[in-house]
Structure 1
Amino acid sequence: MFALITVGIFCVMAVVLLLIRKAHIASVRNLKETFGRIPDEEHDMKRVSSYHVHAIQADEETSFLDSTTWGDLSMDSVYQRINACHCSIGDEYLYHVLHDVHTPQSTLESRYLLKEWLSTDEVSRLRLQKILVGIGKRPGNGLGAFIFYPFTKRLGNDWIYVVLAMSPLVACALLSLSIQISMGILICSVCLNILVSVNKTSSLESELESLRYFSSLVHGAKMINREFASRLNEMCESGTLGDDLEISLAPFRRMRGVLPGSMNPFAAEVEVPFLVLKAVFLMDLIRYNRTVGLMIAHNQELQMLYKIIGELDMAVSSASFCASIPWYCKPHFDEENFIVIENGYHPLVSNPVPNSVVLKNDSILTGSNASGKSTFIKMIAVNHILAQSLFICCAKEYSLGRAFVISSMALRDNIEIGESYFMAEIRSLRRIMDECKKQRCVCFIDEILRGTNTPERIAASTAVLRVLHKTQSMCLVASHDIELTEILDEIYDNYHFIEHFEKDEVVFDYLLKKGPSKTRNAIRLLEYMGFDEQVVIDAREMLGEK
């Protein structure tokens, strides 16, 4: 009988080990197959942005991309296209980094080194990915509030919880004096403590969940430090990334001992008797306060730890993104605010037509409807952001001067506040002019002041563009107004896109050409789309055409 039981135990263990091995192989296969593919995960952008919201409130000196520019350039979609992160920290940190075009070049160089390492060393990448997957995804984990405003998370009068926790022990100590008094105090203290524990832990449910996730972060960081500390130093311009991880981890190394068992995602479920015991002695509340106190006392290390894990997950994502696109390059920064592009393309465009250009001056882009003007300036804007945040560009060569990115494109009426389209345009242009006075920018404007009549639009647009030309910024404008190319010819360079018709079909080559546009296609498109012949004839007669 004993032999049969022994054999049975070994069989069960063998099956369990086989299943674990099978799951491991499947996990590794999935990581290999998804690397270099277009991500298909949908993200809740409100939750993803939580860290960024706290970060910009805490850092009022840095200029981050504003919501108008972010929306104009469809940066949510660009973010989704790039994001192949494996934990929520990477998701949130990538979103924040894409808003920051003032990142020091040393940091950018380190990001590129990390990306290249993970692109070429599959074994190390898979080991790192498994650890990051272990940290897990918990959208809206709330860690940002603990990082930037830990004082607001601490329970007030924490000494009260210590006194209440000691009261059952005091009651037991009084047994030798009076059993009745001792039992009365014990019953009251136990009931009171359970009531306080249940009430407080219920109100702290989201905060406790945040600390559970922080426990996962610490556990994963320790594994990364153990496996990659020396290698991380090599992958950093300063040579201290691994050392920085060790320093940031030091105050939190005993975190699993500090946090209650229910906060430890790697522990088994706590049995009911232990839950009652924890409630009686207010263990969750006392340890919660100790943990928050640790975050307050070592806030710099906490921020560093979060950023390092974010950088590593973001590096995996960048490597995967680069493997999924036709080509990419490491940008070159110039002192002058010039733009030199060889075979640049927009990362969101399928089968893109690459363009090459050298821009050393403010420029106006003209061309027919749907010819590619807007996509071209968005291509430059997005690549400027990628260059100054991730240190990669969707081009074979890309040179630029460091500059803030700001745009005015996809405007609309705001019915809720009673603001017309034209007022929204004026407000948007004013913010560009104000920003250009404060720092060097690259401005992207699509169809300037199209919300008003033609004579005033030409006059006002000319005045605005002349003012922008006098700043240290570069201005790229897409417009249908040929008049602007003539009026501003001496101070703005001109480029255009063109189309041709083949058997009643409009064909665009989407290639940038020098000089202003000389063609129009609006009336031809009316004819192509089947409008009445008389409509087309009348339109042509008004233009003096036959």
Structure 2
Amino acid sequence: MKTTKPENPQHIKTGFFNFSQIEKYFLNEKQKSVFQAISDRTFQDLDLEDIFKFIDRTVSSVGQQYLYYFMRTIPDGDTRRQRLERVISVFKKDPDLKTALTAEISKLNKTDAYYISGLFHGKYTERPSWYWLIQTLSAISAMAVILSFFFQQILIFLIILLPVNLGIHYWNKNNLHQYGSSIPQLLILTQTAQKILKSGEFAPQNVGLQKSVDLMDQLGLPMSIFKIEAKLQGEIGQFVDYVFELIKALFLIEPVLLFTILKILDSKRQHIQNIFQFVAETDIALSILALRESAPYCCKPTITAQKKHLHIEQVYHPLIFNGVANDITLDGKSVLLTGSNMSGKTTFIRTVGINALLGQTINTCFAKQFAMSAMKIHSSIRISDDLLGDKSYYFEEVLTLKNLLEESQSGHSNLFLLDELFKGTNSIERIAIGKSVLSYLTRGNDLALASTHDRELSDYLADTFDLYHFTEVIDEESVVFDYKLKPGKLRTTNAIRILELNDYPKEVVAEAVRLVDGMKRG
């Protein structure tokens, strides 16, 4: 089941994804109020970076950052999903409003907009201890210019004062540069929120947000100095630019305004974040609607109160074009998968994990039906040797599974995704440890989807695990995989036959057959 992107995709973004910027909101946001923050290991195991690229149909940088946060956090309760569905339903009923707001939100589709979150997450530049001197020199300069109209001798004083103010002005340029991207975008963000709220569909549910928008709107004039400067740099000649720079330096406009604005913004962090989340969630709703409209089929999940329950119909991997869909139902028991390499075991485990995650985050599953209890998702799929850290494959897996064993005792329901446990050790101990670990992981309200090449493991776990398998069909000249999940234990082996089909030397094949026969008789 080779992973490939769909042909003729709609709205799928191309080009570079700057994940160092996209992940900033997730990394800096406190995760205390969520049910689960998806670990880096599970993010990598499920190929969620590629899944994000496929799902991301946002039109703004703030929406893209927040969508990444959505995918990395399972919320505690249904409030976030209900809010999301309410906005999606608005856009489905009013295509004209959808088009208009898409155009407004897309004004934030700039790299600079990634820095807005720093205005409520980051630490602000502190005022220097000698800020009083900046204010004093600014006031003196303004007074001297006024008095020079009556006493021309004061111009000499201004000529002496100008180099001092120029030094402070250019000292402050580094501070100004830090906010030269985020503050102009904050102005656009506030204006965008204001336009969204003008719609009668959004205003009633966001009375408190209007207060945040109004407070930030009052700061529009002093913050405009950042926007004006950026505009002037692009539109006026060098001479006029020099004159404008001289005026700002003489009156120390930039440092006075900057530290005044930062003090105000520091007290308005929550209001800025409220506006950010509102605009970003609106963009996410547009993105998910576009995703659903472009999918062959999808559904909204049913989150049940029933423990150890998973019912899936016609589930497929979103990145596999024309992939094979499968059904499975778990009710009190977990699943052990057997099958040869490339038959589809690992892809199926990832498919279930991806859809269980997306169902609980963006309320969308690539299936006809997907019912599950609320579960945290953990995985041990893609493990490799840590050569720099001097850790073997087996030791790396031991540490990973130790974390999962600890999670199983957390009191929450968990979904464990496990691919070929302990393949870094010998077969006898692998089967023994695998049985012990899988039994321990599923003692409470937890479910596990595990794959193995050890068919003997099936016998030890038959009471607590349902057995399924994938297999291939071998004819005279080829190996064909149908990728269909089948109930029961795999009873056929085709590894040696596959060697033969791939033109291995006859002596190698014959010896392998003799050894297998001897082992079976022994």
TM-score over 0.5 (shorter chain):
yes
Q: State the match for 1:319 in structure 2.
A: 289
Distance 1:539 1:381, change over 3 A: same
Which deviates further from its counterpart, 517-526 or 183-192?
Answer: 183-192
Q: State the match for 1:144 in structure 2.
A: 117
Distance 1:478 1:97, change over 3 A: same
Q: 1:227-285 deviations in whole A, cap 9, x for unaligned?
A: x2x2125xxxxx613x2442221211134312143425995546422232122222222
Matched residue SS, 1:356: strand
* Rounded Cα–Cα distance in structure 1 between residues aligned with 2:321 and 2:465: 31
Which deviates further from its counterpart, 141-150 or 153-162?
Answer: 153-162
- Cα distance, 1:517 vs. partner? 1.3
2:29 to 38, 55, 68: 55
Q: 1:93-125 deviations in whole A, cap 9, x for unaligned?
A: 101110111243122022123224334532111
1:299-338 to 2 correspondences below 5 Å: 299-335=269-305, 336-338=307-309
Is 2:312 the partner of 1:341? yes
Q: Are the equivalent residues in 1 in contact too, given 2:113–2:185 (CA < 8 A)?
A: no
Is 2:422 the partner of 1:457? no
Matched residue SS, 2:312: strand
- Cα distance, 1:443 vs. partner? 0.7
Distance 1:103 1:60, change over 3 A: closer
Q: State the match for 2:392 in structure 1.
A: 420
Matched residue SS, 1:315: helix
1:507 to 480, 483, 497: 480
* Rounded Cα–Cα distance in structure 2 between residues aligned with 1:265 and 1:447: 59
* Rounded Cα–Cα distance in structure 1 between residues aligned with 2:350 and 2:229: 44
* Percentage of pairs with the same residue: 25
What is the TM-score of this pair, normalised by structure 1? Answer: 0.86
Matched residue SS, 1:419: coil
Q: Which amino acid aligns with 2:223?
A: L
- Cα distance, 1:504 vs. partner? 1.9
Q: What are structure 2's unaligned runs of at least 5 residues? A: 1-7
Is 2:326 the partner of 1:355? yes
Is 2:498 the partner of 1:525? yes
Is 2:205 the partner of 1:240? yes
Matched residue SS, 1:500: strand
- Cα distance, 1:296 vs. partner? 1.8
- Cα distance, 1:128 vs. partner? 1.0
Q: Are the equivalent residues in 1 in contact too, given 2:22–2:114 (CA < 8 A)?
A: no
Q: Which amino acid aligns with 1:80?
A: K
* Rounded Cα–Cα distance in structure 1 between residues aligned with 2:450 and 2:157: 79
Q: What are structure 1's unaligned runs of at least 5 residues? A: 1-33, 234-238
* Rounded Cα–Cα distance in structure 2 between residues aligned with 1:521 and 1:118: 53
Which deviates further from its counterpart, 477-486 or 41-50?
Answer: 41-50
CA RMSD of aligned residues (A): 2.5
Q: State the match for 2:84 in structure 1.
A: 111
Q: Which amino acid aligns with 1:147?
A: F
- Cα distance, 1:84 vs. partner? 1.2
Q: Are the equivalent residues in 2 in contact too, given 1:209–1:263 (CA < 8 A)?
A: no
Matched residue SS, 1:340: strand
Is 2:12 the partner of 1:42? no
1:72-151 to 2 correspondences below 5 Å: 72-138=45-111, 141-150=114-123
Distance 1:128 1:423, change over 3 A: same
Matched residue SS, 2:182: helix
Distance 1:134 1:37, change over 3 A: closer
* Rounded Cα–Cα distance in structure 1 between residues aligned with 2:167 and 2:229: 25
Q: Are the equivalent residues in 2 in contact too, given 1:260–1:284 (CA < 8 A)?
A: no
Q: State the match for 2:165 in structure 1.
A: 193
Q: 1:289-346 deviations in whole A, cap 9, x for unaligned?
A: 2332232222221111111111011111111111121101111111123111111111
Q: 1:387-410 deviations in whole A, cap 9, x for unaligned?
A: 111111111111011111110111
Q: Are the equivalent residues in 2 in contact too, given 1:39–1:83 (CA < 8 A)?
A: yes
* Rounded Cα–Cα distance in structure 2 between residues aligned with 1:354 and 1:248: 47
Which deviates further from its counterpart, 335-344 or 519-528?
Answer: 519-528
Matched residue SS, 1:544: helix
Q: State the match for 2:4 in structure 1.
A: none
Q: Which amino acid aligns with 2:283?
A: D
* Rounded Cα–Cα distance in structure 1 between residues aligned with 2:366 and 2:112: 29
Matched residue SS, 1:231: coil
Q: Are the equivalent residues in 2 in contact too, given 1:260–1:283 (CA < 8 A)?
A: no
* Rounded Cα–Cα distance in structure 2 between residues aligned with 1:265 and 1:125: 33
State how many pairs are aligned. Answer: 502
Q: 1:188-225 deviations in whole A, cap 9, x for unaligned?
A: 43222222122221354132212122222122222222
* Rounded Cα–Cα distance in structure 2 between residues aligned with 1:385 and 1:61: 14
What is the TM-score of this pair, normalised by structure 2? Answer: 0.90
Is 2:437 the partner of 1:467? no
Q: Are the equivalent residues in 1 in contact too, given 2:142–2:251 (CA < 8 A)?
A: no
Matched residue SS, 1:101: strand
* Rounded Cα–Cα distance in structure 2 between residues aligned with 1:376 and 1:191: 70
Matched residue SS, 2:417: strand
Matched residue SS, 2:329: strand
- Cα distance, 1:35 vs. partner? 9.5
Distance 1:456 1:231, change over 3 A: same
Q: State the match for 2:39 in structure 1.
A: 66
Q: State the match for 2:453 in structure 1.
A: 480
Is 2:166 the partner of 1:202? no
* Rounded Cα–Cα distance in structure 2 between residues aligned with 1:447 and 1:507: 22
2:268 to 273, 298, 317: 298
Is 2:126 the partner of 1:161? no
Q: Are the equivalent residues in 2 in contact too, given 1:337–1:402 (CA < 8 A)?
A: no
